[in-house]
Structure 1
Amino acid sequence: MSTTTKTNHIGRKISRIRELRGMKQETLAEVMGISQQSISHIENSETLEAEKLGKVAKALGVTKEGIENFSEENVINYFNNFNDNSFSNSQGTFNANNCTFNPLEKLMEVVEENKKLYERLLKAEQEKNIYLEKLLGK
């Protein structure tokens, strides 16, 4: 059994996060405005400057700390703890997506508001037409 410690290979972490997000190297390169070969070079690098790491993190939609602390084990634990619209993390248990209103009622409110706006617009157009007809009649 080997007692060597795992290296903190930042490029592999970037690569794995990119893969988990369903993103190709070409897509990440396009978002960052660099070439695919540059992304390949980044993913093969064991370390990365803080500024470049920040740009990669932003393009991936994560934080620098998220990349630095990324591990497959944490991802597996996260999804194993996810159940019944709640998940547990180091700060406790949270309920996700508890809707406190009826979406259909909100939709109908918006429809009614749009009707009122349309009627006001129609009335304004009719008044404008009457005014223009008076001007032309003179």
Structure 2
Amino acid sequence: MNLHVGRKLMRIREMRGVNQEVLAESLGMSRQAVSKLEQSETIDEIMLSRIAKALNVTPDQIKNFTEEGVIYNIQNNYDNASCNQGPNYQGTFYLLDEYKKEVKENKKLYEALLKEKEEQIVLLTKMLESK
């Protein structure tokens, strides 16, 4: 059942939307080292535990991963969901609204920092001119 753990790792990484560089950075290694791990049939337990933690899964989920299991999970959790309630975009829009608020707040903070920096430059210029 543990055939080619590296390929399973690669599929889980891809499904989680994580590229090799991001995974490599979180593991403190190079992208090439992650690529080599994904080509390995076996991965030692310590490294597998570190990878699992970085991908927010368990080592057993990596070892026992199958495409059929993913399809089964999707079918049983989403196909049987009630569609009569209409689309539920509230979560997505909520996150988008929160993101927009954060962007506006960051913009305000950036503008305040720029203003403060300009005031400091004016003050330093006046101090230099008075000498």
Task: Give the structure-1-normalised TM-score.
Answer: 0.55
Alignment partner, residue 102 of structure 1: none
RMSD over equivalenced CA pairs, Å = 1.5
Counterpart-to-counterpart distance in 2, 1:69 and 1:21: 16
Deviation of 1:7 after TM superposition, in Å, equals 6.9
Q: How many residues align?
A: 80
Structure 1 partner of 2:26: 31
Deviation at 1:43, TM superposition (A): 0.2
Q: Which has the higher contact order (CA 8 A, sep 6+)?
A: 2
Q: Specify which of 43, 50, 53 is matched with residue 48 of structure 2.
A: 53
Aligned counterpart, 1:108: none
Shift of 1:34: 0.7
**Aligned residue in 2 for 1:80:** 75
Bigger helix share? 2
User: Which residues of structure 2 form unaligned runs of 5+?
Assistant: 83-131
Find the counterpart in structure 2 of residue 111 from structure 1.
none
Amino acid at match of 2:34: I
1:6-57 deviations in Å (ceiling 9; x for gaps): 8700000000000000110001001111100000010000001110110111
Q: For the structure 1 residues 52 and 45, does the alpha-carbon distance in structure 2 shift closer, same or farther, using more than 3 Å as the test?
A: same
Unaligned stretches of 5+ in structure 1? 1-5, 86-138
Structure 1 pair 74–82 and aligned structure 2 pair: CA distance change class (3 A):
same
Report the AA paired with residue 23 of structure 2: L
Partner of 2:4: 9
Corresponding residue for 1:122? none
Q: In terms of Rg, which structure is larger?
A: 1
Partner Cα distance (2:76, 2:44) in 1: 34
- List structure 1 runs of 4+ shifted beyond 6 angstroms: none
